[in-house]
Amino acid sequence: MKIINVAGARPNFMKIAPLMEAFEATDGIEPFLVHTGQHYDKKLSELFFTQLGIPEPDVNLGVGSASHAVQTAEIMKAFEPVLLTHEPSAVLVVGDVNSTIACGLAAVKLGIKLVHVEAGLRSFDRRMPEEINRLLTDAISDLLFCTEKSGVANLRNEGIGEEKIFLVGNVMIDTLLKNKARSDKSTVLADLALEAGKYAALTLHRPSNVDDPDVFARILDALEVIQHDMPIVFPIHPRTRKNLHAGDLAAKVKHMSGLRLIDPLGYLDFLKLMSSAAVVLTDSGGIQEETTILKVPCITLRENTERPITVEVGSNTVVGVDTARIISGYQEVMEGGGRQAGTPPLWDGKAAERIAKILCEKI
Ligand code: UD1
């Protein structure tokens, strides 16, 4: 059976890599890869294909950046002819980006089965574009693969049939475990003159944090205090860089000698940067999961998380975006050494294999 796998934005690539590998090794599955082109910068896209050994996409839709409506519509328009030409048995989408819902919707409208990997996660915050993408994709999927038990519970509560839901573990963690030894050899610490355990790593790109200058300023005020205590390394997302320079926030940052803005890193260097950090500050979803496995304290700069297992058994603390709360969260982590992290069930590097097996039985 031919399965069209969709990847569009940076966090999709580390999820699609182990799936393509598992499908290629499975008799009876013929994987086909579509890149929507939602992310197109070398550092957000191509670097991940090379480092993670993801095959060259069979088709690149080359859609690029635009408003949500335009981007989603353009992906649907470009994806439909691919479906009509290749007539797959199923389309598989991962995560919660615009490419996920756009390709999912195009597939089901043609009567093609839809598979969602990383289903059921809910922040219960409908102001997040990703939450809308998750809710809609899950509502139209035929097979839903969950990373954690909260996902299964959420899908049941939404009335999704039990026979469609599978708890299989986390494909992003498959990639982490496979590449950890390679990333240990990265020279990123030496390149940036950093000492292991003596710096913080930061990522920030959520629209709710960086599109609103007041919120962004509150976060920067907390970083101003923290950077006096230890250097903060900040690989900066294009959206964040743009917003920093659009307002008067760039001046604020200029005076912080301990806050080091660098270009986005490739997968292996970023994994090394995270795993050797004293603490990670982030508003990303995936990084909350990766730090859980790396057992590095994570401070999440959001009011909620759709990944509660990372708080329950992991090293994640959700502190919100209030200046004082970020600083006290940081101080608690530094004084107490962070929360002790356990390993969530099935985050063992074999999620993609489980998915391949279930697809062979169900499609
Ligand atoms: C998208 C996802 C988000 C994910 C993030 C990871 C949605 C709704 N959001 O957000 O869930 O966490 O990717 O990075 O799908 N840009 C570039 N080069 C690129 C891509 C984007 O410069 O290769 C710039 C453009 O100015 C663009 C902006 O970044 O307008 C935002 O890109 P977009 O894909 O719309 O959303 P992200 O913020 O990256």
In tens, the pLDDT along 43-79 reads: 999 999 999 999 999 999 999 999 999 999 999 999 9
Whether the CB of 205 sits within 6 Å of ligand 1:
yes
Helix H or strand E segment including 334: helix 323-336
CA distance 222 to 169: 35
User: In this predicted structure, what is the pLDDT of residue 282?
Assistant: 98
The catalytic site residues sit at 205
With a cut of 70, list the residues of the chain below it in pLDDT: none
Which class for 252: exposed (0-12), middle (13-18), buried (19 or more C-beta within 10 A)?
Answer: middle
Q: Tell me the pLDDT tens digit for each residue of 35-44.
A: 999 999 999 9
| Total-model pTM | 0.97
Q: Tell me the pLDDT tens digit for each residue of 121-167.
A: 999 999 999 999 999 999 999 999 999 999 999 999 999 999 999 99
CA distance 35 to 61: 6
Ligand 1 atom nearest the C-alpha of 98 is 15
| Ligand 1 center–CA 100 separation, angstroms | 13
Whether the CB of 328 sits within 6 Å of ligand 1:
no
| Ligand 1 center–CA 238 separation, angstroms | 8
Mapped onto helix, strand or coil, the DSSP state of residue 31 is: strand
Ligand 1 atom nearest the C-alpha of 133 is 8
Ligand 1 atom nearest the C-alpha of 39 is 23
User: In this predicted structure, what is the pLDDT of residue 321?
Assistant: 98
| Ligand 1 center–CA 72 separation, angstroms | 13
Q: How far is CA 245 from the centre of its chain?
A: 25
CA distance 174 to 328: 33
